[in-house]
Amino acid sequence: MRIDILTVVPDLLSGPFDHSILKRAKEKGLAEIHVHNIRDYSTDKHKNVDDYQYGGGAGMVMSIQPISDCIEDLQKQRDYDEIIYVTPDGELFDQNTANQLSLKGNIIILCGHYKGVDERIRQHFVTKEISIGSYVLSGGELAAAVIADSVVRLIPGVLNDETSALTDSFQDGLLSPPVYTRPAEYKGMKVPEVLLSGNFKKIEEFREKEALRRTQERRPDLLD
């Protein structure tokens, strides 16, 4: 899978993909992530990427020229399955969307800044608009990193057995049960007896019950 991220702040995306699971995905050749500076595509003499909005009002709008040139340049090199614009008014991102995106070959993620991008970009290029939650970030970069992380780890071969995505919270519609490691007792705090019992049927029952209890307590909306 190849992910191209378009941004005016590429520095914000230089760190997140160089560690642990995402790094391994790149090393194994399972995922490629390319970050493009939209400013490099500006034909403006000052390399501007934004301008005042028509009709007046506070806040700058990202201009159509550098973004459309960048997208068209990429499209000349390969076909894209999805051109995603990350924006607070997009559809809410969830595990289901992550699963779907992990099946794609090439995707573009466009990060907005300021008041957002010229609407014509959204109408003529963007195929999907995603928000990562009901709060406002100063730009789409952190949202793009969240999406790329959650999608890449689902690509077959990226995770090993220990980190298998199948037992993640949400993957079965439930939150994960609690986990413990050694020691069995620490300053009087004990690990639940059943987990030490070696009785795998009982252990599985405990985990299912706890996952359900947690979901009921914390995220009853997931059970609807």
Q: Which parts of this chain interact with ligand 6GU (CB under 6 A)? A: 86-88, 131-133, 135-137, 139-140, 143
CB of 31 to ligand 6GU, least distance (A): 20
Of 10 and 88, CB closest to ligand 6GU: 88
Non-local (6+) Cβ contacts of 202 within 8 A are 194
Q: How far is the CB of 137 from ligand 6GU (least distance, A)?
A: 4
User: Shortest distance, CB of residue 152 to ligand 6GU, whole angstroms?
Assistant: 17
Give the whole-angstrom CA distance, residue 11 versus residue 48: 18
Q: Which is nearer to ligand 6GU, 112 or 177 (CB)?
A: 112
Give residue for tokens 């008041």.
Answer: 115
Written as one letter, the residue type at 61 is: V
| Of residues 146 and 174, the one with the C-beta less far from ligand 6GU | 146
Which bin fits 198, alpha (ψ -120 to 50), beta or left (φ > 0)? left
Query: Cα separations (Å) of 19 from 1, 24, 26, 28, 118?
Result: 18, 8, 10, 13, 34
| Of 93 and 206, CB closest to ligand 6GU | 93
Task: Look up residue 130 and give its amino acid.
Answer: I
Q: Please, what is the minimum distance in Å from the beta carbon of residue 194 to ligand 6GU? A: 40
Tell me the one-letter amino acid at 65.
Q
